[in-house]
Amino acid sequence: MVQVKIYDRTYDSIQALIFDKDGTLAQSKRYLEQLAQQRLAALLACLQQQNIEVNAETLQQQLFASWGLQSGHIDPAGVLAVASKRQDTIVTAGYLTPLGLGWIDALQQVETAFASVSVSPIEKAQLTPPIPDLRPQLQRLRQSGLQLVLLSADTTENVEAFAHHWNLNDQFDLLMGEQPGLPKPNPALLHRVCDRIHLSPREVLVLGDSAADIQLAKQGGAAGAIDFPAGWPNGAKAIPKADQRLHSLVDLHLE
């Protein structure tokens, strides 16, 4: 067991660190910008095929604002950065009903458009580089005897592709993506991870950049819920219910 010290606070008897991926250990701004442009283009194409009149510029402004993408800035707490694909679909469909579409038809149009945007796991991995000096920091943490987990709302395939592409897979004891019926912040997701690494939630710290990560830790009974938005170079708003904010893995000390 390890004592983990972050600034003026110490967490005793820790055996594992559970990290989020995008926005935490991976820089996803470039990927999200590309995804937004591709989804918008696909949606406009679908509407055109259905002969639905739309002002493309107005729709773009509405959707980008609702997705949290404005003036080249992505809101780390916005829909595009945090929401699941299904949640993003629902938000987007709401902007199609004023065009005369019924709710079910609007959902179908968005689902069709989003499904046509195909980004392979390798392509996404290439567009989401790790935060600077990640590998040596992970090596330092592992040398202390800590288990390291990468737990993301992304698919397991994408999580594995990220770790493999950036030569990080040997640094993690478990790579896990979305689980059917267990989205973040469902505490059962944390319990499943702990079962896989044979630990109690009280023996792990959860580090992530979203309120969902913090809620997962709090509701799941983790030893600590750490706000760690290292994947956002321009910073992110502090998460009020987090136990602490960590600025760099260099500031995470082991005793």
Q: Where are the domains of the chain?
A: 2-28+128-254, 29-122
Return the pLDDT at 149: 98
Place of tokens 């968005």: 110
The token duo for 133 is: 């000096």
Residues whose CB is less than 8 angstroms from the CB of residue 155 and which lie 6 or more positions away in sequence, other chains included: 121, 177, 178
Q: How far is CA 118 from CA 5, 42, 105, 112, 206, in A?
A: 42, 11, 22, 12, 31
Return the pLDDT at 141: 97
CA separation for the pair 195, 12 (Å, rounded): 20
**Cis status, amide bond into 229, omega within 30 of 0:** no
Return the pLDDT at 147: 98
pLDDT by 10s per residue, the chain, length 255: 899 999 999 999 999 999 999 999 999 999 999 999 999 999 999 999 989 999 999 999 999 999 999 887 899 989 999 888 888 999 999 999 999 999 999 999 999 999 999 888 999 999 999 999 999 999 999 999 999 999 998 989 999 999 999 999 999 999 999 888 888 999 999 999 999 999 999 999 999 999 999 999 999 999 999 999 999 987 788 999 999 999 999 999 998
Angle in degrees, CA 221, 88, 246, rounded to 5? 40
63 close to 55: Cβ distance less than 8 angstroms = no
Sort 26 into a burial class: Cβ within 10 Å, 0-12 / 13-18 / 19+.
buried
Return the pLDDT at 178: 85
Report H helices in 21-133: 29-49, 56-67, 79-82, 85-93, 103-116, 121-127
Return the pLDDT at 118: 81
Return the pLDDT at 181: 87
Instruction: Give this prediction's pTM.
Output: 0.91
Superfamily of domain covering 2-28+128-254: HAD superfamily/HAD-like (3.40.50.1000)
CA separation for the pair 197, 134 (Å, rounded): 22
